[in-house]
Amino acid sequence: MSGPVPEGQAARLAGHAAGMVTTARIVFADGGCWEMGSRTHVLGILNVTPDSFSDGGLFLDEGRAADHAARMACEGADGVDIGGESSRPGAERVSPEEESRRLLPVLRRVRRENPRLRISVDTTRARIASEALDEGADMINDISAFAADPEMAAVVAPARAACVLMHMRGEPRTMQVNPLYGDLMGEISTELAAAIQRALAAGVREEAIAIDPGIGFGKSARHNLQILRRLTELSKLRRPIMVGASRKSFIGALTGAEVGERLEGSLGASAAAVTAGASLLRVHDVGATVRMLRVVDAIVRA
């Protein structure tokens, strides 16, 4: 005889019964949009840093970085996410001047050579966001959800830019030092809801906002697994959900694989995220992810 359905499982079943494929859109300043209900969208990672956990130092050269962006676009990326400051666990901050020096030449070249490619910029600084938007960026991906710089929302709103608000506990330098939660998904949901309200109050358009639960940002390996299993619970926020699990340490802990050998684990985590409601993936391995999504999207939408 079956017993009562556990609370987390009940929420997931309810989400599936209601239809896990979101019909929300991400609308950009030029009027274009990503229709999230049609298929899962892919944001390729382009770190122009010497110390990012996976690809640090690989794309410091402007030409090499632009070539990688073009390659990801050819493989099916809907956009690229360019970052000039590492947010790996334990990372120290760089100056705004150094972040700008790394980022802007690459952004200009990627925009010039790929005029139709959506460009996201991974930054927590309003100054960098403003410079990037002036150079043609379409989206700001803020791992602090507009909390690190009080001027960030005031930059994004008048530009009518799209944005990703990510959940993080602490800051990259200290975030993995014994992260604790009383109610993991409840706290993430409440804090993301507050971030959405901050953005809306500053004039950011609701249809420009996506959310990210922040896999690996102030979370243990167990927390990461629970987030992926219970992602459905964030659907009540009614915004597209981005997940960035690619090559992260919890995959290495599960598989024993070094960073460069975590493709299969990354694909597994991404597939689980999509079946639980994610509609945007931030990944290193674009081609393999796009091929995986042809199958997973077909199943989810069958």
Distance CA 34, CA 39 (A): 9
Q: Which of 282, 291, 294, 301 is catalytic?
A: 282
Is the separation of the CB atoms in 143 and 218 below 8 Å?
Answer: no
CA dihedral sign, ordered 214, 216, 220, 225: positive
- For this structure, is 282 an active site residue? yes
Q: What angle do CA 140, 247, 57 make, to 5 degrees?
A: 70
For residue 45, give the 3-state DSSP assignment: strand
Q: What are phi and psi of 270, to 5 degrees?
A: -65, -40
Q: Residue 140: beta bridge partners?
A: 121, 163
Using N-to-C axis directions, what is the helix angle for 221-229 and 263-275, rounded to 10°?
A: 40
Q: Which of 118, 248, 294, 301 is catalytic?
A: 248
For residue 218, give the 3-state DSSP assignment: coil
- For this structure, is 219 an active site residue? no
The kind and range of the H/E element at 108 are helix 96-113
Catalytic residue annotation: 248, 282
